[in-house]
Amino acid sequence: MYDGQIATGWRYEYGYATRLCVKLKNFKPTQLFNDVSQGPQDCSAYWVLAQDGVKIRVGLWKAKVPTGTIFICPGYSEYIEKYGKTAKLFSHYGYNCVALDWRGHGLADRLTPNPLLGYVETFSDYLKDFDAIIDWAIKFDIPKPWFVLGHSMGGTIMLRHLYKNKHFKAAAFSCPMWGIKLNPALRIFAYIYGNLARILKMDKNFAPTRSEKGYIDEHFDKNALTNDPEMWQYLREQVARYPALKLGGPSVRWVNSALKETYRLSKLPSPKIPCITFLAEDERIVDSDRINDRMKIWPTGVLHFMQSARHEVLMEDIVSQEYITQKIATFFRANNDLITD
């Protein structure tokens, strides 16, 4: 599949990009669907190769007079275009925004024959994607200072990355997946089931109760993401117009890997970087207790509780979006002087 086919199909399998490397240079320009993202008009996207040959996509929205860059790390089943409106709000404060499609997401290489199955070998593989984005940003001389914003699964990956941080002056998180919302009995079952599935080579099946149906396939009245019908429609129209962006439910292996990684992270002290975190009152996807516990031991961390909000706090009504982006921009500006290099 080539650039002209991206909007209607997928690639999968490790090493696909490596086999094409004689034809595709690192950082080759590709598509960013700004007609549905509604981000700043000055935008671009590129293919980037991770160190293991998996091909991922990075997008860049530029502010008119950039004074720094925010790296947006999306959650599970998300893609670059979802954050166009967020990027536009941050551009008002002079920030460029970079976002990426993780492996198995968006237009990045899909990893299984069924492109709608959410799969990853191990969560550490996502760090390979982000390392490749950092390499791209350095080579493209993306304006500093740099900051990072992690949502949900992106918050898991970023928390791990920040323990070796050399580039970012401050971090923000929106409903980070520092734990998955499960009752204790179901959590134990998920661990056992996931480990057994690995042994029996059944870990590439959909997790129990999950299917090719994605989060946004739910009826608005039943959704766990946002209270705002306009933003809900914004998300649905993106996938309706560009079906290749869609991802269904997670695999058994993805859930098992996520549970193990979030547990390991819960036993670590907090990174030495200023942090601002937003937690939704009506949170049904990630573990709110893990977020509260983490922020209690983050000496330079600030926690904001978003009343009545659901998991996608940046996809609530425009008043909430403006409030959160203003808080983040102010926090980042206050931490410009942190030396990280």
Give the pLDDT confidence of 267-281 residue by residue, as tens digits: 999 999 999 999 999
Superfamily grouping for domain 3-334: Alpha/Beta hydrolase fold, catalytic domain (3.40.50.1820)
Provide the pLDDT for residue 336: 85
pLDDT tens across 230-240, in order?
A: 999 999 999 99
What are residue 95's DSSP bridge partners?
68
The model's pLDDT over 189-203, given as tens digits with 9 standing for 90+, comes to 998 999 999 999 999
**Strand order, beta sheet including 95-101:** 29-30, 43-49, 55-61, 95-101, 68-73, 146-151, 168-174, 275-280, 301-306
Amino acid letter for position 178: W
Alpha-helical (H) ranges within 92-215 are: 124-139, 153-162, 184-199
| Mean pLDDT along residues 159-187 | 96
Dig out the tokens for 231 from the structure.
């933003």
CA-wise closest residue to 235 among 306, 310, 171, 170:
310
The CA–CA distances, whole Å, from 127 to 40, 43, 73, 85, 161 equal 27, 24, 11, 26, 7
pLDDT tens by residue, 66-87: 999 999 999 999 999 999 999 9
Domain boundaries, the chain: 3-334
